[in-house]
Amino acid sequence: MTSVAMTVASMLFSGSCRSLAMPAAARAVRISRAALVNNRNKHPPSWCCRSSHNSNTALAGEAEFLTTDAGILNATSSSDSFRKYDRLLPCPSHKTPPRIEHLVVSEGGPVLEHICKALDLPPLYVSDLIQFGAVYYALVCPQPPPNATEEQIRVFKEVTEPSVLRKRASIKGKTVREAQKTFRVTHVDQFVEPGTYLRVHVHPKRSPRCYEIDWRSRIITVAESYVVLDKPAGTSVGGTTDNIEESCATFATRALGMTTPLMTTHQIDNCTEGCVVLARTKEYCSVFHGKIREKKVKKFYLALAAFPLPTGIITHYMRPIDMAPRLISEDFIKGWHLCQLEVLECRKVPWPATAIQDKYCIEDCGWPSQDYAYECKINLLTDSSSICCL
């Protein structure tokens, strides 16, 4: 039986408020507003939703991001209309406002060219976004959200008319639902035809923690078909929706000097550190997934609680929607996933020293007592269970 030990070195949670201390780098930002943006290069209007907490704040922050004094590059396109900017690498020390753009291609051509024109972004910046995995496409535009404008709805109806879709050879043999499935754009010269939907994460979520780690020292085992990594806290195993560059799999691959990228076989939370298994081949991915299905992989966690927890099995139910926030319930709800974990041990330990709290970015959540904490050994019984649900 394969045993994978997962350690959680710096997690504080409360049985009453269910809060979890998380490194700042692991937090996600939310999208809240959409506005129509017209194509600036005399093309017909694109279906384009500019999303941010506040449009004025977002644009001001973006201008600062693109013209910051530190390390400005002189690389611009052949047109002087594009602004100078800092490349996505090196990783900026400051946060950028959230921005996601949704476009419908009006004229066929290279994806890089269309995004640059539609969003007035420098080609090198868009190229970096594609490298980061922050640009997606679908052959057919998906249904606009409930808060879409009349113009957005009009464009959607126009490009998804059955008479229009019948003329597109690229979607023959596919249902509309199949053609609306999104895929990552992987090359700057990828051709996009009229009617293609594009989603551009202009400001990807960043992981500055990746650049602080001695990744070679975190490698535990290198086998013929897999690598075992001691994952640092504050990092993503396989990347995020808009950033596959800054991930454990990518940095471990580089640390080992491998030419073939390592692949993820399972996940642990960004705020968690401990052992993860990365596959060197697709075949081993299947092998490891089979071990998980057959319950041959055990996952053990060490978690630090603010209050003592009784030993035994804890059960809750999670809403079956793969998006944050993950809603949970202590009561059974039909259709929700069963999540179970077992508290094997709970022992009283000194409260973490200030240096430890600073190292792991533990937030002061107003704990009533900070004299002692409780170290819990946990056996994760179902893959959908979450430590933060205690």
- Distance CA(114)–CA(110), nearest Å, equals 7
Query: By C-alpha distance, which of 308, 312, 280 is closest to 372?
Result: 308
Residue with structure tokens 């808060």?
147
Q: How far apart are the first and last CA of the chain?
A: 27
Query: By C-alpha distance, which of 135, 88, 93 is closest to 242?
Result: 135
Query: By C-alpha distance, which of 376, 336, 272 is closest to 14?
Result: 376
**Alpha-helical segments (H) within the chain:** 55-66, 111-119, 123-131, 150-159, 162-165, 176-179, 248-255, 282-293, 354-359
Q: DSSP for 236-272?
A: -SS-BTTBSSSSHHHHHHHHTT-SSPPEES----TT-
Residue among 69, 86, 230, 269 flagged as catalytic:
269
Residue 140 CA, distance from chain mean position: 24
What's the angle, vertex CA 73, arms to CA 72 and CA 75, rounded to 5? 150
Q: Is 80 a catalytic residue?
A: no
Residues identified as active-site? 269
